[in-house]
Amino acid sequence: MARRKTKNITGLPRIEGIPYHDAWIGFIGLACNHLNNIKIGSQLADSQKAYEDAYWECSKCGFIHNKNTDLPFNNWPAAFTSASSIKAQRFWEAFFRISTEHPESYWKQCNACGRILPFSAFSKHSGWGPLQRQMECRSCKGAINAVLNPKRTKEQLHESSVRRRIADLFLEGENQTIDIQDLFERFEHKCFKTKKPLDIKKRRTWAIDHILPSKWLYPLTKENAALLSREANDSKGEKWPSQYYTNNELIELAKITGADLSLISSKLPIPNDNINVNKCVERYLKVREKSNLKKRITELKKIIKKYALVDRLAGENKKILGF
């Protein structure tokens, strides 16, 4: 069945003539260090074929990037720069592989602002082209969400609010106190995502990211904390780490924090079941006299079912909640 035509409800006009899904190759010209982009369309390149056939011309200086071209490094001996040498051929093989081997190496053109940006500048969207990325970059998506978020229904807003509130109660007493000085030192006083320098004294410019979101019942711990700029943290929101960070960033994050790489690299969120569900029930049912107890029980049951935690309940709690 053909995919239904995409409907634009963002309020932000799209640029005519920009295909939604096309991938681009980005490479730094060897002769002049100019950034070049080449549109390759809806199929990613084959690294070996690129090495064999590519004829990439630098748009600034005209240097041809091809396996039969001598390398333009004047400080290298001729034995390394001659295209006929095995050294140069190994260089060319790696050069084309770096630009084409992984989806994370590619670039994409934003359908809203028109910029050609790296893979990581676009959020994930399963089934959307070879890169499976959204058509708007994350910057434009921020502007779009400013329009769309207020249009969410009361039910959607309530559902999101309820889940966060109950998740916070699940985690009450589980969060650790984060040593801010240590956090800054481990992340070299930079935003982990953008590498932008951060000032520990300017609290409004930085944030502590729950690498594994509290939405999925993960408390804030040293292993689950990353230093981000305020803008990067807003962009990540409640996304699962693999939906925001690149593979290389996930590896680096695991090295810095000690996070479980197999967990944070999971393509789909995995709820944390390593919590005391019965303590959560006891906390959540401590309500004020005028609170709506029935409503609280309904909300609590919903979240327990959603995260498949029913079997973790003690017999008494199962009984009073009606499981």
Q: Measure the CA–CA gap between 29 and 299, rounded to whole angstroms.
A: 57
Residue 238 C-alpha from the chain's centroid? 10
Domains of the chain, residue spans = 23-143, 175-264
Q: Measure the CA–CA gap between 161 and 134, rounded to whole angstroms.
A: 26
Residue closest to 192 by CA, chosen among 137, 264, 127, 276: 264
| pLDDT, tens digit only, all 323 positions of the chain | 344 445 555 567 888 888 878 999 999 999 999 999 999 998 999 999 999 999 999 999 999 999 999 999 999 999 999 999 999 999 999 999 999 998 889 999 999 999 999 998 988 776 678 888 888 998 888 887 766 555 555 555 555 566 666 676 667 667 888 999 999 999 999 999 999 999 999 998 999 999 999 888 898 999 999 999 998 998 898 899 999 999 999 999 999 999 999 999 998 888 887 888 888 888 777 766 666 788 778 878 888 888 888 888 999 999 998 88
Q: How does pLDDT run across 232-280, given as a tens digit for each residue? A: 998 898 899 999 999 999 999 999 999 999 999 998 888 887 888 888 8
Please name the residue that has the structure tokens 């080449």.
Answer: 38
Is residue 154 within 8 A of residue 146, CB to CB? The reply is no
CB burial of residue 140 (10 Å; 0-12, 13-18, 19+): buried
Residue 274 contacts by C-beta under 8 Å, 6 or more apart in sequence?
none
Quickly list DSSP for 280-321: HHHHHT---TTS-HHHHHHHHHHHHHHTT-GGGS-HHHHHHH
Kindly report the pTM of this predicted structure. 0.50
Q: Measure the CA–CA gap between 87 and 62, rounded to whole angstroms.
A: 23
Q: How does pLDDT run across 276-315, given as a tens digit for each residue? A: 888 888 877 776 666 678 877 887 888 888 888 888 899 9
Residue type, 96: F
What pLDDT score was predicted for residue 37? 96
Helices 293-306 and 277-284 cross at an angle (nearest 10°) of 160
Structure token digits, residue 187? 């992340």
| Sign of the C-alpha dihedral computed for residues 129, 131, 136 and 142 taken in this order | positive
